[in-house]
């Protein structure tokens, strides 16, 4: 999450555009080691059982975006950054359309969730992200597969999200600070009913490299523009450069 914040700042101060050109956007794909619970920007951290997380070596991190808690374990995580004046909802749909194209190559026919962000907040657990669905997030047979969140600062938009590889994300039920075990069980039942993972759909776990390549191919199918592949060192070097001079 800190790396996404730093990358967003590189867009805001012009370093990214100066290095890669105006109009360039950034996709980043990554996983988690150690596992972590992230909470939304405005979420109360006391809703998570910090002691249990510490005992199990699970980090607890606040996201720069909104939404509810997510347990990042066995998952394929993406972030997307762009300088754009397009409406947030349009970018939200575009990003998920690209992920939908990638999933099709695995034989998965996903569809958009129909609820709006305002509706989703009134349904499901008030703590966990995957038990609520926002419009344009992806589901398969009514069960949420991809959850995302956004943050905009001026004309810079950050969107990131989670694609669970296994059902490990459902363990958020035992990491929530709850008064009794019955609430934990209720959240677990809700997670089982409303969410799904790639392993459950496919019977196997696609390799990380395969998923990254499918995303690259989907980007070209969607936009006709090829991705320039960067590695972690390229992004670190970018963040170490001086910010562009202010024009104000």
Count of the separate structural domains present in the chain: 1
Q: Which residues constitute the domain of residue 42? A: 2-240
Sign of CA dihedral 92, 95, 101, 105: negative
Inter-axis angle of helices 208-223 and 88-104, nearest 10: 120
- Whether residue 93 is contained in a domain is answered as yes
pLDDT at 118: 42
Given the residues 25, 53, 113, 129, select the one marked as catalytic: 129
| Structure-token pair, residue 42 | 């405005």
Whether 25 is catalytic: no
Please state the separation of Cα 232 from the chain's center in Å.
18
Q: Helix, strand, or coil here: 12?
A: helix
- DSSP secondary-structure letter at 230? -
* Intervals of the chain under pLDDT 70: 115-127, 129, 179, 244-248
pLDDT at 120: 42
Question: Tokens 């670190």 correspond to what residue?
Answer: 236
pTM of the model: 0.88
- DSSP secondary-structure letter at 171? G
- DSSP secondary-structure letter at 169? G
- Each residue's pLDDT tens digit, 230-240: 988 999 999 99
- Whether residue 214 is contained in a domain is answered as yes
- Rounded (5°) CA angle 167-75-158: 130
- Rounded (5°) CA angle 36-42-47: 55
- Whether residue 247 is contained in a domain is answered as no
- Whether residue 213 is contained in a domain is answered as yes
CATH of the domain at 193: 3.30.930.10
Q: Helix, strand, or coil here: 220?
A: helix
- Whether residue 235 is contained in a domain is answered as yes
- What residues are paired with 83 via a beta bridge? 156
- Whether residue 80 is contained in a domain is answered as yes
- Whether residue 194 is contained in a domain is answered as yes
> Cα(2)–Cα(10) distance, rounded to whole angstroms?
13
Q: Give the DSSP H/E element, type plus range, for residue 89.
A: helix 88-104
pLDDT at 123: 47
C-alpha to C-alpha distances, 213 to 62, 73, 193, 201, 229, nearest whole angstrom: 29, 21, 30, 20, 10
Q: Which 3-state string (H, E, C) describes 95-139?
A: HHHHHHHHHHCCCCCCEECCCCHHHHCCCCCCCECCCCCCCCCEE
- Whether residue 245 is contained in a domain is answered as no
């Amino acid at each position: 999450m800190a790396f996404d914040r730093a990358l967003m700042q590189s867009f805001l101060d012009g370093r990214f555009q100066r290095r890669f050109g105006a109009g360039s956007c950034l996709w980043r794909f990554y996983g988690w080691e150690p596992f972590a619970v992230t909470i939304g920007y405005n979420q109360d951290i006391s809703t998570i059982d910090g002691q249990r997380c510490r005992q199990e070596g699970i980090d607890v991190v606040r996201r720069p975006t909104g939404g509810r808690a997510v347990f990042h374990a066995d998952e394929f995580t993406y972030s997307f950054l762009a300088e754009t004046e397009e409406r947030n909802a349009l970018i939200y749909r575009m990003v998920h359309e690209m992920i939908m194209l990638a999933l099709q190559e695995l034989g998965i026919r996903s569809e958009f969730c129909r609820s709006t962000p305002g509706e989703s907040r009134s349904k499901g657990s008030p703590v966990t992200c995957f038990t609520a669905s926002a419009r344009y997030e992806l589901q398969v047979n009514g069960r949420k597969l991809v959850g995302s969140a956004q943050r905009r600062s001026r004309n810079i938009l950050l969107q990131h999200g989670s694609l669970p590889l296994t059902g490990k994300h459902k363990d958020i039920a035992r990491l929530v600070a709850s008064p009794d075990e019955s609430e934990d069980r209720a959240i677990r039942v809700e997670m089982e009913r409303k969410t799904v993972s790639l392993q459950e759909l496919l019977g196997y776990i696609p390799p990380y490299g395969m998923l990254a390549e499918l995303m690259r191919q989907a980007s070209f199918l969607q936009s006709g523009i090829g991705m320039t592949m960067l590695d972690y060192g390229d992004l670190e070097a970018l963040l170490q450069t001086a910010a562009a001079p202010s024009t104000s």
